[in-house]
Structure 1
Amino acid sequence: MIYFDNSATTKPHPEVIESFAKVSANYFANSSSIHPLGGQVEKLLDAARQQAADLIGVSKETIIFTSGGTEGNNTAIKGVALEHQSRGKHIITTQAEHPSIHDTCRSLEKLGFEITYMPVAEDGTVSAADVENSIRKDTILVTMMQVNNEIGSIQPIEEIGNVLKKHPKVLFHVDAVQGLGKVPLNLSDTGIDLCTFSGHKIHGLKGTGLLYVNHTAKLYPLLHGGSQESGIRSGTENVAGAVSFVKALRLIKEKQDIQKKDNILKTLHDKLMKELSQLEGIEINSPAGGANHIIHFSVPGIKPEVIIHSLSQKEIYISTKSACSSRDLTESHVLVACGKTKEVSSSGLRVSFSYENKEEEVDIFVKEIKKAIQQFKEVLR
């Protein structure tokens, strides 16, 4: 099997599964209970929070454990909107966001908020200057992805953060789900107030994640109840999930350190990009300088699902766009935002690597996609 759909989800690491099972079996008490068993669980959760903070370079009090990217993005965006609506109802985002940002912003429009959907360049990015020019007196939030989940473009997060330092009343939320462990991001002194991470993108478990909330950022909670997670996310904590997420985080950080030496993702990226650029009838959508683990391309004239099913028969697995919207076979809104034609934006395919992939897998993939494209072109003649 060749698994090239790691941006949709990754295969859980055995150590992550083991940590979840061990905590579930031995630390099953409610951490809010005042008896000794509850105290043990509370200490374990506190230790996991400290370890997560150390791994991403922030203080323990800023860590909120969540169920993943969608919850993290909703909590950040809606939390800011509802908490700060008295001083403004204007939010800035881009036209090329993940549905958990785009659709959340759309939902707030129904509540009277005004959203500026900034146009992106051909490479899917916006400039810090354009962000600043979009800021108004009633702007309360800027929200965007660090790494685009479809085409791999990398936003100039640090530059935008530096601009927003001059506008302290405007909070900055970054969706770092696709970049975690692959594209560096410094949360210290970069102007980022809120940042979303997800476990299942880093060989962790689905239903685990983390939201970084800067000390100065105030959120209106979406869940009310027992005031867990600093009152931002009430509900009995998923301690096993939190511990397993931290295990996955530690392992991916170790992989990232090794990557600095052998550049495995860049090797895979450059090899596939070279091969694809030599194939007739293929248009590469991922920009130069984008994330090394994502390559997006189109085969105009051939439906992407047809190629995906053909490759699946060979046990090669890729995708079209965001897994959250991959069953919607219409145009990719990201490619449309980048100015691609309808033919290109409706025929996109995404290959996404992990540190576990090998060069020989790229060779096999190229060989099989050549066959598939040639086969369907002959049918269409």
Structure 2
Amino acid sequence: MVGPSRRVVLIGGGITGTLTAVALARAGWEVVLAEGAHIGAGSSSRTAAGIRQQFSTRESVVGMRYAVDFFRRWQELIGGPLSPIHQSGYLFLYDSEASWQAALDRAERQRAWGLTEVETLAAPALQARFPYVSEAMVGGTFCPTDGFLRPDAVYNDAADCARRLGVSVLQQAPLLSARSAGGRLTAVTTAKGELEADLFIDCTNAWTRRTARLLGGVDLPVAALKRYLWFAERGEALPAETLLHMPLVVAPGGAYCRPENSDSLLMGWKHDAPDVSLTFDYADQDTIEDAHDHRGGGESRAVMAWIQLAEAMPPLGELAGLSATTAGFYGSTPDHNPFLDFDPQVPNLLRLVGFSGHGAMFGPFTAAVAAALAEAGRPLDALELPTGRAELAAFQIGRTMHHGEAMVI
């Protein structure tokens, strides 16, 4: 039975919110999930949805090993007609001896942290394994258990599971205001009415600075940065079977690609973008600026990403052409690690934000951390997982940010 101090309201219905709702419902909380639009309407439906364990931060390696296992057991743990994970691997390419040596050092640390399956492939073994890779690449790190997700399956299946567990899932319920007493939140008002609770959880990521203003929370350094994805048609560049089984490949300059299906390739490449966290609106997610439009000609960021990928993998230069552009927002922190912690100004407000493009893959780990924090009712130093001990200092609010995550695309 749910006790008098076991009511929680989650704000934001993407992958973070829906999976956290499931975890808390299973822990015995009475859960309401309030989404301002519809489930998955924010960044979760606009993500490249990669999932990898190759990180430079130990806690992220431990957490992502847990997440990969969770997604592999998806139908057992969450339900749904199909598995949402496609484990075709991640391949990071390097074109200089210095960058390759740094990659070798990282891979050694990753193995020490439990990621024993990460492989280091020096040329020419790299090209023998992946014949489409240019001979100019001196090496690559490959983890076969990495891959990508079908994000719509993740948030929809998780929302359905939450409902089966008794979670009240409210859509078209944007946050309007909040009520506090004695320094603690007591209720929030949404377009669907007032919701009283003992614990409140912010899962709004790129929207978190505005959410915090309504809830009285600290203004966290989470920048809303526009990111673009482009789609290219295969044509005769590669056999359909080859494309379908390609890993997600990251070129030395940071452009990346993965198969969307047997006939199209998804591409992305981060760029310097202004922080619009306090000014963008819902429709801005889908606005395509000319400089990033796939129809923008040779100066388009899309074309430049394609060229970079073709230099690393020459057959991609023969793709039939770019066919579409999509966009969304990262919620990015200065060190590219998320905040998974209680708000220092509002002790019953938990912040799960700032994923820096990794929110989809972090989902199961985030939910596990959130459930542990909710049970404790206070910050924790660490969380014991089947994949190891995750020290939580890397995700706490107020941490020093001298050593951030190095593997960000």
TM-score, structure 2 as length reference: 0.25
Kindly indicate which of the two structures has a greater share of residues assigned to helix.
Answer: 1
Kindly indicate which of the two structures has a greater share of residues assigned to strand.
Answer: 2
